[in-house]
A and B are shown apart, each in its own frame.
Chain A
């Protein structure tokens, strides 16, 4: 663990310098400790792959104070290898009319589209970071058989609900957005429903399972095929 200056009122805590499950578990454990403090003086706590940024009240802590405080708090944390987190199941329609890159991924892996679907939906994914857009969760690790780089030219519009992969990561687009990930399918799962003022159902502590559904089921859930 290493604490560095981020800004006049923020510090960043690093847990290792690579993307790994171990570093991510450290982040998650430390994040839980910080969040559970419910401190009014810790204004933002933003976890990512191997770091946590903390924005703090400078009328409460100096830069030196906050380092001592966080160091004492986090130096002996128990790293939980959490197997008890809630599994969120996301229904996905993996059809070629919505999964625009299914064929590309299959061709590159030299397997059938059906195998791509089976491989992508077989794993239980961990969330490593949330960002880019509200509710956009970076999940990993995709089975190495179907690892596919980003498109060389990003699409101007990826429809809301698209389930996609880039390198060894997978994600769901929470809203229409430009993007360069390879689209495998589409879901009606809401990642950020502001009308309900509900929080994003997926947090860094979630585990995600994709569940293949038929076109009929997708349409029954209110799914739209159009781009």
Chain B
């Protein structure tokens, strides 16, 4: 850990890392032609909200916390903001609100207890963590050993350096901007790629069925279970896969590809989930239910522009 020594006094020390906490940012772009995935935060709404409230640049890094019992010790003053899944959140053992900026003083303890609704909590610090980027990003992709600290998840005892900050930032989100993480979701889908290989009957089945989120759900993809869908194609020539693509493998059960998807793949795809809805999906619990609804490209682009303009 000698490489961190000089930073030690302007940092968080990780007391409890939780089972799976990673450093992310908006992702690693322009290396996909070499097989490097985009990675990045699963829920951009929650993470961009935290950065907006702190006045951070939107590509600032952030902690993505997926299990309870996470704890940090602050070694310098700063401001933080916690968003995403509703959770128990304590500063020096006093319960605090999420979706709000909190001033942190040297010696403060920050704890995330139980996650209540949702799957991913985001913890942002003013100006982000001072960590070297790899291939233009801090996003951690474990299978590629890239990003974060040494390309793996956060461990107990890690040091997360930041620049000391004493700004008075009183921002918080109005309750109407704080999402409720439902157990039922309707995802808007653009018909795309091999949609022609699915008959009208199959498409109708797809849009009229209810699917269940299986435990096969991680940063790469979300596998669903329900009415099987059949393509007239067995497989396709491997091609690049975009964020939100819905692959239909031979068992007919849809797989929605998320931030750490492989860059290319050979299963037919019926459509692509609008990215804003992938962010919502990333917060659903296993056993939650999914329905699909078609959206036009014009509306989809309008919605996505509106989404990003909220954070400008």
A residues with CB within 8 A of B:
4-10, 12, 17-19, 43-53, 55, 58-59, 62-63, 129-136, 138, 175, 192, 194, 197, 199-200, 203-204
Contact = CB atoms under 8 A, between A and B. Distances in A.
B274 interface: yes
A192 B263 CA distance: 15
A48 B34 contact: no
Interface residues of B, number: 42
A129 B264 contact: yes
Nearest to B244: A7
Nearest to B304: A8
B92 interface: no
Interface string B181-210: 000000000111100000000000000000
Contacts of B146: 134, 194
A44 B29 contact: yes
Given A51-B239, A58-B305, A62-B301, 12 more contacts: A7-B245, A8-B300, A9-B301, A46-B264, A49-B237, A53-B241, A129-B238, A131-B238, A132-B262, A134-B36, A192-B34, A199-B34
A133 B144 CA distance: 7
A48 B297 contact: no
Contacts of A130: 33-35, 263-264
Q: Is the interface of A mostly helix, strand, loop or mixed?
A: loop
Interface of B: 29-36, 38, 134-135, 143-146, 190-193, 237-245, 262-265, 272, 274-275, 297-298, 300-301, 304-305, 308
Contacts of A53: 239-242
Given A58-B305, A59-B305, A63-B301, A7 B240 contact: no
A192 B146 CA distance: 11
Nearest to B29: A43
Contact of A9 (B36, B241, B263, B304): B304
Nearest to A131: B264
A131 B35 contact: yes
Contacts of A129: 238, 264
Given A7-B275, A129-B264, A49 B300 contact: no
A6 B270 CA distance: 10
A134 B145 CA distance: 10
Contacts of B297: 5, 8, 63
Contacts of A55: 242
Contacts of A48: 237-240, 264
25 contacts: A4-B193, A5-B272, A6-B192, A6-B193, A6-B272, A7-B243, A7-B245, A7-B275, A8-B272, A12-B240, A44-B240, A47-B33, A48-B237, A48-B264, A51-B237, A51-B239, A58-B301, A59-B308, A129-B238, A130-B34, A130-B264, A131-B35, A134-B36, A135-B35, A192-B34
B32 A46 contact: yes
B152 to A, nearest CB: 13
Most A CB within 10 A of own CB, among B191, B237, B275: B237
Nearest to A58: B301
Nearest to A9: B304
A45 B33 contact: yes
B36 to A, nearest CB: 5
B131 to A, nearest CB: 15
3 A-B pairs closest in CB distance: A53-B240, A131-B264, A46-B240
Contacts of A19: 237
A69 to B, nearest CB: 15
A5 B298 CA distance: 12
A8 B240 contact: no
Contacts of B32: 44, 46
Given A5-B190, A7-B245, A131-B264, A44 B34 contact: no
Contacts of A135: 34-35
Contacts of A45: 33
Given A5-B192, A44-B32, A203-B33, A131 B237 contact: no
A14 to B, nearest CB: 8
A133 B145 CA distance: 11
